[in-house]
Amino acid sequence: MAKKFISDFQVNEVVDSCFIMSKKELKLTKYDKPYLHITLADKTGKIEARLWDDAEKFNQAAEAGDVVRVKGTVDKYREEKQFKIDILEKADDRMYRYEDMVRVAENREDIFNEVVGLLYTIEDPWIKKLKERFTGDEGLMRFFRDGMGGKMWHNAYIGGLMEHTREVMRIVDAMSIMYPEADRDIMLFGAFIHDIGKVHELDVKKTEYTVEGGLVGHIVIGHKMLMEKINSIEGFPEELSMLLEHIILSHHGEYEQQSPVLPKTLEATIVYHADELTSQANAIKEIGRSQSAEGKVWSNFVSIKNRKYYIKERSGELPPAAKKFEEELEKEPGASDEDLFGF
């Protein structure tokens, strides 16, 4: 069966293809008629779907997390595409390729190696021991490689957690040069663990929250994971433990963002802003990726940010400063940062 990707859906188009059914709820209309509220997903995105007829029968056909074959029509509701399902069945393995179903971060092995490489530059002996407790936990590292950075807002795909973590670590590493007063080892390790609880908060297969994630949340989960590792190291300094704990507990930055505490150290403040910067930038990038193909200048209204975003496709040309930088690199391929930037 030829795969039809969600990103290519056109309004009024009839589609017969396979998708992951990431969410399924049996609901009632205002006239008490049952219907299915479904979220379909593939590697290109998600779409909300409804199945109106014989909902109770089709509700038995498959469960959330299953790959399903659906046939129906693409509609539009409140400026958003929606899918009206006529037929739904659990897909046979021969009907689809799993790599079409899920989005995966590119070059995951390279990303993981860079994360571990940055961790190996840590000099503090206690944090080095703690780092080894994390990187030596093969099960945890497997979850970390596969983990999602978020459910919808940013890096919401396999490997997204690791990708987001690397970006935060890169930023705090650069900030440690600008702010030598900040403890680089604490910041760098704090960046590594700030979202570690997401390995148990999000179910990658269903792209939904786990029960633990929904009830407890990744901040509390991550803090618990950190303390388990710290408690396995005899004599670990109490103050250092608190400074690392504080980064996890404060990395959402504001009480309104479900942060248990506010950032109260230079290191925690830098990690918070690095996390905020990369998560917001990636979210806007994803909005553009998913909607600019439709030729839009402005995105759909993003209620969580109370605005639309300018997503018009730009030319592929580099700005003058970037062109000059690339020319310098071509002239001196072995040039160091000091040669190029003067520091």
Nearest to 275 by CA among 198, 207, 333: 198
Q: What is the pLDDT of residue 333?
A: 46
Q: Which residue in this structure is represented by tokens 């950190």?
A: 226
Nearest to 286 by CA among 311, 255, 253: 311
Same domain, 109 and 201: yes
Same domain, 70 and 176: no
Same domain, 75 and 133: no
Same domain, 267 and 247: yes
Q: What is the pLDDT of residue 287?
A: 80
Residue 128 clears pLDDT 90, i.e. is over it: yes
Q: How many whole angstroms separate alpha carbon 258 and alpha carbon 277? A: 17
Same domain, 109 and 239: yes
Residue 101 clears pLDDT 90, i.e. is over it: no
- Mean pLDDT, the chain, whole residue set: 89
Same domain, 209 and 323: no
Q: What is the pLDDT of residue 252?
A: 95
Element (H, E) at 135: helix 125-135
Q: Which residue in this structure is represented by tokens 């659906």?
A: 70
Number of structural domains the chain divides into: 3
**Positive/negative CA dihedral, 323, 327, 333, 337:** negative
Same domain, 285 and 318: no
Cα separations in angstroms, 318 against 158, 183, 326: 30, 35, 10
What share of the chain in percent tops pLDDT 70? 90
Q: What is the pLDDT of residue 339?
A: 42
- Domain stops at, among 35, 66, 100: 100
Residue 335 clears pLDDT 60, i.e. is over it: no
Higher pLDDT, 285 or 174: 174
Q: What is the pLDDT of residues 268-282, one digit of tens each?
A: 999 999 999 999 998
Same domain, 12 and 149: no
Residue 22 clears pLDDT 70, i.e. is over it: yes
Q: What is the pLDDT of residue 325?
A: 59
Q: What is the pLDDT of residues 287-311, one digit of tens each?
A: 887 776 667 888 888 888 889 999 8
Same domain, 280 and 153: yes
Residue 130's domain is classified under what CATH number? 1.10.3210
Query: In this structure, is residue 297 part of a structural domain?
Result: no
Residue 51's domain is classified under what CATH number? 2.40.50.140
3-state helix, strand, coil split of the chain in percent (to 5) is: 45, 20, 35
Q: How many whole angstroms separate alpha carbon 240 and alpha carbon 248? A: 13
Can you tell me the mean pLDDT for 111-123? 97
What share of the chain in percent tops pLDDT 90? 64
Domain that holds residue 323: 313-341
Query: In this structure, is residue 177 part of a structural domain?
Result: yes
Query: What b/e readout covers 210-236, taking b as 16+ CB neighbours within 10 angstroms?
Result: eeebeeebbbbbbbebbeebbeeeeeb
Q: What is the pLDDT of residue 338?
A: 42
Q: Name the band, by pLDDT with cuts 50, 70 and 90, for residue 171.
A: very high
Query: In this structure, is residue 44 part of a structural domain?
Result: yes
Query: In this structure, is residue 306 part of a structural domain?
Result: no
Q: What is the pLDDT of residue 342?
A: 39
Q: How many whole angstroms separate alpha carbon 148 and alpha carbon 210? A: 12
Residue 194 clears pLDDT 50, i.e. is over it: yes
Nearest to 205 by CA among 98, 282, 107, 112: 98
Q: How many whole angstroms separate alpha carbon 23 and alpha carbon 64? A: 5
Query: In this structure, is residue 257 part of a structural domain?
Result: yes
Same domain, 116 and 254: yes
Can you tell me the mean pLDDT for 60-69? 91
Query: In this structure, is residue 55 part of a structural domain?
Result: yes
Q: What is the pLDDT of residue 222?
A: 97
Same domain, 196 and 256: yes
Q: What is the pLDDT of residue 341?
A: 37
Same domain, 73 and 120: no
Query: In this structure, is residue 305 part of a structural domain?
Result: no
Tokens of residue 338, six digits: 């000091």
Can you tell me the mean pLDDT for 6-12? 91
Query: Which positions ≥6 away from 165 have C-beta within 8 Å?
Result: 115, 144, 191, 192, 194, 195
Query: In this structure, is residue 268 part of a structural domain?
Result: yes
